[in-house]
Structure 1
């Protein structure tokens, strides 16, 4: 069985399955969310990892966290061995955390009120942290908010998929406009 490290898609999948979304919508959402890994792989320091097996494993085990850590300035001097161990520990963390969550979650009574809001609260906190880290980049969260509102108004039954598509299109349009804009010294 192939393990999928698409944690963000796993959260999205819960909502899509709960809403009985069509399989095509789930597939498109998976493609849009997980497609980022193609771009991660292009700049991931795989060239420092020695051995076919180690490289294959590093490609398989690539997560957002591993990419973020290896993209940092201080990671440019890391050896392939350190990158491999990082991937292995993150893999164990993901698998162990998912297993612990499943086991502990099975112990919770089904009648716990308000627990369903925990996921919403988690993403609210993550969004607030991300906005703080943008350092003045107001257009990105504003574009995300507008995409969500437009998705809700235009396709209420497929709001999440529409919002992802609009947000992606908006980011691409902003990138094209920024690249074409002449820079002044």
Structure 2
């Protein structure tokens, strides 16, 4: 009985150490990450492939970090943002685009997520660290509902449906120094 419990406890600790959360963020995420982004638009099964990088490093201000996204080569699409805590104890951060735009991000379980709307599209982004890989996903939805269904009652409330315009996924690996 004791051996079984100890084995269970050891496996649980290994599992917990592999998962990521707000507790070890952003320290365990620091580094220069790179990989390939697959971008699916509409009902196409053939994604557009783009080189992607995410560089997360301590910034000049204490507690702030770079959040530099690069698509293609550095000169093509370089987005040098800053990651700032809003209330880190509650898992609330903001990605400051340094042009007046601030994108709020939140920890939900093991996923660092945000959602924002711009020019008729709502973007949902997810970042998840799994062992040595950073999984990045973006969903783009049409902001205006394509359908409202339901009867407007408690048993059948009104429900809005939205068109999903695109899905993007990248698996990034930390560059070796």
- TM interval, short-chain normalised: under 0.3
Larger strand percent: 2
TM-score by length of 2: 0.22
Structure with the bigger RCO (C-alpha within 8 Å, sep 6+) is: 2
Whichever structure has more helix as a proportion of its residues is 1
Using structure 1 for the length normalisation, give the TM-score: 0.22
